[in-house]
Amino acid sequence: MKIATFNINGIKARAEALPRWLDEAQPDVVLLQEIKSVDENFPREIFEERGYNVETHGQKSFNGVAILSKYPLEDVSRGLPGDEEDEQARWIEATVIGKRALRICGLYLPNGNPAPGPKFDYKLAWMERLYERARDLLATEEPALMAGDYNIIPQVEDAKRPEAWREDALFRPESRAAFRKVLNLGFTEAFRARTQGPGHYSFWDYQAGAWNRNDGIRIDHFLLTPQAADLMRDCQTDAAVRGHEKPSDHVPVWVDLDI
């Protein structure tokens, strides 16, 4: 089963590019972030005509996450547990039924800038809730994953110019420590389990020729429970998508699981 995560930076802006990538890459399941659309305005028919089941958790003009799946989806839930007053659409999860069940969680973690400040405080509080949900997933002892735009640069080699991000919320020590706290529960960071070294990124700013200079950062991640990690066959970044017309500032990352 090929599962991808892709921050599309607006479904309206990517209404042509996203279907073209789906036709080329043929992922079985896709976790989308920043759809920037309320549920009723999401263009479901584009994906349903390609055989995808569609579940969304939208928000007008901001945030928003979705799941596209060629397999049945069960037990869909929306919103990260732990704060009933949180209205930001950043979390969706469901069980995908392939050869066996897989719990998938799609997330769009808060950016947190400017840091320090209220937005950074919200980011860290959200990550503490993520930690609690991650513990619950592990306790099931079943294949599960959490994937999406984490807005975290985990290591120095995950940025072309780490010094430029030193005070940014994506790279501040508090953010990276919160990410490691989740990872150290027993998750496998899929891409780094397959590929080591610098030069591998999933985001390039639109400005200052960042793409042409490969001045990127790696902030889109798959975290796998041990039961899912045992089934992993590959994990790659589909950087060629950035060369398409009207690209997102992110590119897809995908895993292939024997499930």
Q: From the CB of residue 73, how many other CB atoms can be counted at a distance below 10 Å?
A: 19
Q: Which of 52, 108, 150, 201 is catalytic?
A: 108
- What DSSP assignment string belongs to 198-256? S---SEE-SSTTTTTTT-EE--EEEEE-HHHHTTEEEEEE-GGGGGSSS--SB--EEEE
Q: How far apart are alpha carbons 189 and 221 in whole angstroms?
A: 7
Structure tokens at 203: 């985001």
Q: Which of 28, 149, 158, 220 is catalytic?
A: 149
131 labelled catalytic: no
Vertex 94 angle, CA 91 and 96, to 5°: 140
149 labelled catalytic: yes
164 phi/psi in degrees, rounded to 5: -75, -15
Would you say 20 and 244 are in contact if contact means Cβ atoms under 8 Å apart?
yes
Which residues are known catalytic residues?
A: 108, 149
